[in-house]
Amino acid sequence: VDNGEVIEQWLRKHSLIYTGATRHPLILSIRDGTVHLSAFKKWLGQDYIFVRAFVPFVASVLIKAWKESDDISDVEVILKGMAALNDEIEWFKREAAKWNIELSNIVPHKTNERYCRFLESLMRPEVEYTVAITALWAIEAVYQESFAHCLEDGSKTPPELRETCQRWGNEAFGQYCTTLRNIANRRLERLSGDLLTEGYDNVLKQAEVVFLRVLEYEVEFWNMSRGDS
């Protein structure tokens, strides 16, 4: 039986945790304008640290794409993502200055450290490209869906936070996430069909577990910014 693409199946199966990550109370508070600016500032400082660790992770996915991918255009997609991260780091610096946040003084929160260590574990060469690209898609998709929600009609996002929401909620970033999902689906689909590949089932399971781990870390990351942990 064909139940559609692998990621769409996962999104149905794990819809509760997915919604938990993409419709977190912090995001809902930005959307309805009740967000505490202290929570936003805490998020900004911690996310700058996260993004700095995210760059080498994306570089590791790029290397895997170059070595393992069946489609040469994957490398270009990931390279564009890396180029965008270059702008993103500069944006964080400008945004932090606006809010009087001294980035060099930010101490990484335990939750952030755990998430960064998880990224580092995914950088190991033994981690398959399929698993790594699934993680990359999930990490980007959570931010895209979360911040796009804050820009929908009827949202009361404070004007000074709209630029932040635009950064991940814009159309082009949405397109990038769709492309990553298509790549991940293509790889996962190949595994599903390839019953003869030793450990095929294993890689599929690993990718699903990594997807769930990302969602858990994303929920914890939002929680941390609200000051729940």
The alpha carbon dihedral of 22, 20, 81, 102 has a sign of positive
47 counts as binding ligand HMH under rule CB under 6 A? yes
Two tokens at 225? Answer: 């910014």
C-alpha 104/C-alpha 85 separation (Å) is 19
Which tokens belong to 164?
A: 């932040």
Map tokens 């390839």 to a residue.
Answer: 194
Contact pattern from residue 167 through residue 206 relative to ligand HMH, giving x for each residue in contact according to CB under 6 A and a dash for the rest: ----------------------------------------
Residue 147 as a binder of ligand HMH (CB under 6 A): the answer is no
227: left (phi over 0), alpha (psi -120 to 50) or beta: left
Q: Using CB under 6 A, which residues numbered 66 to 105 contact ligand HMH? A: none
- Pick the closer one to ligand HMH by CB: 126 or 171: 171
The residue range among 22-30, 63-71, 140-148, 191-199 that interacts with ligand HMH, by the rule CB under 6 A, is: 140-148
Structure tokens at 141: 């998709």
Query: Which range, of 95-103, 136-144, 177-185, 191-199, touches ligand HMH by CB under 6 A?
Result: 136-144
In whole angstroms, the minimum distance from the beta carbon of 116 to ligand HMH comes to 10
Nearest to 10 by CA among 196, 143, 135: 135
Q: Is 221 in the site for ligand HMH (CB under 6 A)?
A: yes
Ranked by CB distance to ligand HMH, the top (closest) residue is 143
Q: List helix spans (H) across the chain.
A: 6-13, 15-22, 25-31, 37-68, 73-98, 110-122, 129-149, 159-169, 171-193, 200-226
Is 208 designated active site? no
Token representation of residue 149: 């929600």
Residue with smaller CB distance to ligand HMH, 6 or 119? 119
Instruction: List the one residue from 139, 148, 165, 210 that touches ligand HMH (CB under 6 A).
Output: 139
Give the nearest distance from C-beta 159 to ligand HMH in angstroms. Answer: 22
140 binds ligand HMH (CB under 6 A): yes
47/208 with CB nearer ligand HMH: 47
> Catalytic one among 95, 145, 218, 220?
218
Q: Residues 123, 57: contact at Cβ < 8 Å?
A: yes
Longest pairwise C-alpha distance within the chain: 57
Which ranges of 99-128 does DSSP label H, i.e. alpha helix?
110-122
The Cβ of residue 13 has, within 10 Å, a number of other Cβ atoms equal to 13
Termini Cα distance of the chain: 43
Segment interacting with ligand HMH (CB under 6 A) among 23-31, 123-131, 138-146, 176-184: 138-146
Residues tagged active-site: 218
State the residues that interact with ligand HMH by CB under 6 A.
Answer: 47, 50-51, 139-140, 142-143, 218, 221
